[in-house]
Amino acid sequence: MKKKKALVVVTLLMSLGLIGLVFKLQQVRASQKAAQTEIIVADQLVEKAVTLEKAVETEPVVKTEAVEVLDKDLWQKPTGGAYPEITWETQLRIVANITDQRIYFYDDQELIYTMVTSSGLDDEVNATPLGHFEIQNIRGESFFNGVLGEGALNYVSFKDYGVYLFHSVPVKADMSINIEEAEKLGTRASHGCFRLSIPDSEWFYDNIIEGTPLEITE
């Protein structure tokens, strides 16, 4: 009887031991699976990071340029501030830049003033000619072109004796300002001439003499 009890006890102990062993094995397997899952997740995160890094490296950089917004009333103002004094000692030369839509005035190598302008439209018919010129002896207080239906104030010729001019923003037949055209100052808008604000055109007319060298560039 004692032997049977002992055998039963041993059997129970063995069963419990097997159960414990199985439980431990299950725990070990679960731990291994969790570890494998963590490794897979980590690998996936690394892969995503590498992919994002490559995307950043290969994605083209888009550069944007600031667009200058000009005052619509600029045509009524001196566009470069107070005007310089021009004397017989001033070694004046003018550089007009089509891209900038600016006219630069130099005393020898020193920049002394900058004006906002409107040069010719960007087409074969109306484009302002490039090159080296001189201010010509053709000038006047106003004109009106019946064919174009517009005129200007304070004109000064620089090419073909009255064909290509510096002058004010456009005026109508009654010499009133064409506001719609005047507000385009600072953009390509003319038929080949250089448009200037009203005060700038007055100063140009009064101060820029015949023979002043002019360079027109892009």
Amino acid identity, position 73:
D
Give the per-residue pLDDT at 64: 45
Q: Which of 185, 215, 180, 187 is nearest to 201 (CA)?
A: 185
Tell me: the pLDDT tens digits for 206-215? 999 999 999 9
Name the residue ranges covered by the structural domains of the chain.
Answer: 1-58, 74-216
pLDDT band at 51 (very low <50, low <70, confident <90, very high): low
Is the pLDDT assigned to residue 35 strictly greater than 90? Answer: no
Q: Is 132 a catalytic residue?
A: no
Q: What's CA 189's distance to the chain center, in Å? A: 20
Give the per-residue pLDDT at 70: 79
Q: Domain 74-216 is of which CATH architecture?
A: Beta Barrel (2.40)
Q: Is 167 a catalytic residue?
A: yes
Half-sphere exposure of 16 (CA within 13 A, CB side): 6
- Among 49-58, 102-111, 161-170, 179-188, the range scoring the smallest mean pLDDT is 49-58
Selecting among 86, 169, 182, 193, the annotated active-site residue is 193
CA dist., res. 139 & res. 204, Å (int): 11
Selecting among 139, 159, 167, 184, the annotated active-site residue is 167
Predicted TM-score of the model (pTM): 0.70
Average pLDDT, the chain: 83
Q: Which of 173, 208, 175 is nearest to 194 (CA)?
A: 208
Give the per-residue pLDDT at 9: 44
Is the pLDDT assigned to residue 217 strictly greater than 90? Answer: yes
In 26-162, beta strands by DSSP E: 92-97, 102-107, 110-116, 131-134, 139-145, 150-159
Mark 107-138 as b/e (b = at least 16 C-beta within 10 Å). beeeebbbbbbbbbbeeeeebbeeeebebbee
CA dist., res. 101 & res. 191, Å (int): 14
- Are 150 and 171 contacting, i.e. CB atoms less than 8 angstroms apart? yes
Neighbouring CB atoms inside 10 A of 70's CB total 15
Mean pLDDT calculated for residue range 18-37 = 53
The dihedrals phi and psi of 168, each to the nearest 5 degrees, come to -70, 175
Tell me: the pLDDT tens digits for 129-183? 999 999 999 999 999 999 999 999 999 999 999 999 999 999 999 999 999 999 9
What HEC string does 9-30 produce? HHHHHHHHHHHHHHHHHHHHHH
pLDDT band at 54 (very low <50, low <70, confident <90, very high): low
Mean pLDDT calculated for residue range 106-128 = 98
Token code pair at residue 82:
């107070």
Greatest mean pLDDT among 6-10, 49-53, 119-123 lies in 119-123
